Structure 1
Amino acid sequence: MIDFLVIGGGIAGISAAARLSKLGKTVVLEGETALGYHASGRSAAMFEENYGAPTTIALNAASRAFHEDKELLSPRGIMLVGTSTEAEAFEADKKSLKLTDIAVSEAQDMIPILRADNIDRAAYHADAWDIDTDRLLQSFRQMGQENGAQILTGREVTQIRRASHGWQVTTAAETYDAKNIVNAAGAWVDQIADMASIPPLGFTPLRRSMARIAAPGGHDPRNWPMLFGPGEDWYAKPDAGALIVSPAEEDPTTPHDAYADDMTIAEGFARYQPYVTEPVTRPLSTWAGLRTFAPDRNLVLGPDVNDSSFIWCAGQGGYGMQSAPGASQALADIIGGGTYALPIETMAQLSPARFADR
């Protein structure tokens, strides 16, 4: 008998499985042929502790030691630039991200393609890091397997039924008997809930598109910080000797294998272009991912109020990679009945109980 049947093999599911495998027999079912295929594999992969809602920031802080202990982080830094017409949004972002004002000339020293004739303000801090996402996934995978967890790919769930012992979950390959289901299906979490006759919570997948362009003007961008426009209207991030540019859009959509829209990519280039001297070139590649949020944009961790054997691990949005160590430990604290590593108030804001009236 399986104690915890985890549906979803992205960072949410793999990290949850790693933690829960210490509490009982754990199996992961991933519908794709590889782990981290959807949102997890299309992340900007940054650890910025001050990024997200207050509960997400708390989870980020709780995740830091894991990232550091596993040597998953490499220096990147983060920079915000703006113009006189964007002063209010600039100040709001600077405050929320805890950035420090720097001279435009200093910003140009770090990113030489910045346009000093347009940009009149900049802010920066060094405490932002690239995450080795594959190593993160594999670290949790190894943790789970060392505790006996079974991780299965190519196992799309087709049916979920109640049983006397808990649940029967069917794929094209076989049927699995489990005491508990852990719903970590990313953009598909409400669909999984519906299959189990559990009321959905109203998650919304939001598309975000990205384009990789050649290194601008022959520069080597590998040591440049991640660059944002005010209001997160766009961002640019070095990637494998090239540059990723995104309009940072949040377009509501349905759960699917997301792809970039050409017009949206063009809009992202149009937002980015006024801040840099080098003209945008034809993209080397484009892609999109889905950032899935609960209605209040906080993660949802713990047993459903209608059935404690149906456990939510959902709503990571764009913060899954950086918050996964803290979020998965919080989930294990809830299920294991141990002492919470996070404050009670934070745990309450993450609990499915906040949707009790749905």
Structure 2
Amino acid sequence: MTDALPSSTDVLIVGAGIAGASLAAALAPHRRTMMIEAEDVPGYHATGRSAAFWQETYGGPGVQPLSIASFAMLQAPPREFSARGFLSPRTAINLARREDAAAVDAFVAGFAAQAVPMERMSAAEIARLVPGSRSEWSEAAFEASCSDIDVGGLHTAYLRAAKRAGAGLATRARLDSARRTDAGWEVRLGDETVRANLIVNAAGAWADRVAEACGAAPLGIQPYRRTVIQLRLDYPVPASLPLVIDIGGNFYFKGESEGRIWLSPHDETPSPPCDAAPEEMDVALAIERLRQVVDWPIAAVERKWAGLRSFAPDRLPVFGVDACVPGFIWCAGQGGFGIQTSPAISALLAAELGAPAPEGAIGRVNAASYAPSRFA
């Protein structure tokens, strides 16, 4: 365990991935906070396996307000939080075949109505930015604002900020059960008991199990496996290759270094909460889909991994006070967009729990849209 477990705390956050760490950083200056993490290190599952990028269209219109509100902090955080930003320019191409031109037009029109900067691309522009692409992939929408996120740097900054503000972190500390009493919560962690006024469920793929252990009704948070592989190519693909996303949702890839890419078949395979591992069938599927798009000889599969992305039934994040269990707070269902929305979600939820209300773009987000009461 990183820190000794206290006998009591004000707020006990279950999970120290990006959701729990960002909330602890926002809340610890205002309330006594303790994070518990079941694994040996925080961020072992979804956070540590993300190929994260900031993309305004990612997650759809319901997620977009959180993404937009989070951008400024990710790009230029306060100096006391980090001496540098966490974004680096990437750009994105939402790609389609010639026969799917209408789908691209609808995609552009839909997000233009949300004031998302978007440009229609010509076939020549696609060929220039994605050298070796096959001629039938001639339709695309270009997003200049798409950026890579330094996930490890961001997660570490959250953990450091939480620690500076007095938050504790105990690893290898799995919540076995919790009982609500007149004085708050009694939480069993193996042979130890911790008392807390509030429990925050930031347990990712395990969120419904944690809820049940605390006597709360599960919300239907479903984990899905996502596969990513790193390919070395016999082709001079630049490291700056844009994020290329199939508008039909069958693949995405981006440059990693000279002659190397990260590739995913954009799989979403329902999974129990677990230490996810890539399936060979999904690796083969990713490569086959890539070959349909580009004429790039593949020299080697250098790495392959999988992680779990967890969604609520309506695929929007869930954060706020449980509608039926006093003192039980949700911070879950963040899918693949939890990293790019973490500044907004953590600030909004911290304000619900006693921190000052956020200002600016984050303060203008309607947090009620993401409350767990919508499932009551």
TM class, shorter-chain normalised?
A: over 0.9
Residue 118 of structure 1 aligns with which residue?
136
Residue 12 of structure 1 aligns with which residue?
19
- Post-superposition Cα deviations, 1:302-336, rounded to whole Å, max 9, x if no partner, equal 11011230000011000011000000011012222
Residue 234 of structure 1 aligns with which residue?
251
Q: In the TM superposition, what are the counterparts of 1:209-228 in structure 2 within 5 Å?
A: 209-214=227-232, 216-228=233-245
- Look up the equivalent residue of 2:251 and give its one-letter code: W
User: Percent identity at matched positions?
Assistant: 36
* 1:140 corresponds to 2:154: no
- Post-superposition Cα deviations, 1:249-278, rounded to whole Å, max 9, x if no partner, equal 111121111111111221222222111011
Distance 1:94 1:344, change over 3 A: closer
Distance in 1, matches of 2:365 and 2:264, equals 35
Distance in 2, matches of 1:340 and 1:353, equals 22
Distance in 2, matches of 1:206 and 1:188, equals 12
Residue 82 of structure 1 aligns with which residue?
96
* 1:26 corresponds to 2:33: yes
- Post-superposition Cα deviations, 1:152-174, rounded to whole Å, max 9, x if no partner, equal 22212222222332112222363
* Contact persistence 1:190–1:201 (CA under 8 A): yes
* Contact persistence 1:31–1:156 (CA under 8 A): yes
Of the three residues 116, 120, 134, the one matched with 1:101 is 120
Matched position secondary structure for 2:176: strand
Distance in 1, matches of 2:338 and 2:227, equals 17
Matched position secondary structure for 2:131: coil
- Look up the equivalent residue of 2:236 and give its one-letter code: H
Distance in 2, matches of 1:296 and 1:231, equals 19
- Post-superposition Cα deviations, 1:113-165, rounded to whole Å, max 9, x if no partner, equal 222x3222233122111111111011111211111000122212222222332
Matched position secondary structure for 1:322: coil
Matched position secondary structure for 1:55: coil
Distance in 2, matches of 1:103 and 1:55, equals 29
TM-score by length of 2: 0.89
Cα RMSD for the two superposed structures: 1.9
Distance 1:27 1:343, change over 3 A: closer
Matched position secondary structure for 2:199: strand
Displacement of 1:86: 2.2
Matched position secondary structure for 1:317: coil
Matched position secondary structure for 1:181: strand
Distance in 1, matches of 2:127 and 2:181, equals 63
- Structure 1 window deviating more from structure 2 (153-162 vs 142-151): it is 153-162
Displacement of 1:339: 4.1
Displacement of 1:89: 3.2
* Contact persistence 2:118–2:144 (CA under 8 A): no
Displacement of 1:221: 2.5
Residue 243 of structure 1 aligns with which residue?
261
Would you tell me which structure has more helix in proportion to its own residues?
A: 1
- Structure 1 window deviating more from structure 2 (285-294 vs 53-62): it is 53-62
Distance in 1, matches of 2:33 and 2:322, equals 19
Q: Structure 2 regions of 5+ residues with no counterpart? A: 1-7, 78-84
* Contact persistence 1:80–1:94 (CA under 8 A): no
TM-score by length of 1: 0.93
Distance in 2, matches of 1:131 and 1:283, equals 23
Of the three residues 167, 181, 185, the one matched with 1:167 is 185
Distance in 1, matches of 2:177 and 2:119, equals 52
- Post-superposition Cα deviations, 1:200-222, rounded to whole Å, max 9, x if no partner, equal 111111111111111x3341431
Residue 81 of structure 2 aligns with which residue?
none
- Structure 1 window deviating more from structure 2 (129-138 vs 79-88): it is 79-88
Distance in 1, matches of 2:246 and 2:56, equals 19
- Look up the equivalent residue of 1:67 and give its one-letter code: L
Residue 252 of structure 1 aligns with which residue?
270
Distance in 2, matches of 1:330 and 1:314, equals 14
- Look up the equivalent residue of 1:227 and give its one-letter code: V
Displacement of 1:80: 2.1
- Post-superposition Cα deviations, 1:164-203, rounded to whole Å, max 9, x if no partner, equal 3211222236321111100000000000000011111111
Q: Structure 1 regions of 5+ residues with no counterpart? A: none
- Post-superposition Cα deviations, 1:269-304, rounded to whole Å, max 9, x if no partner, equal 222211101134542121111110111111111110
Displacement of 1:344: 7.8
Q: In the TM superposition, what are the counterparts of 1:175-214 in structure 2 within 5 Å?
A: 175-214=193-232
Displacement of 1:338: 5.0
- Look up the equivalent residue of 2:339 and give its one-letter code: M
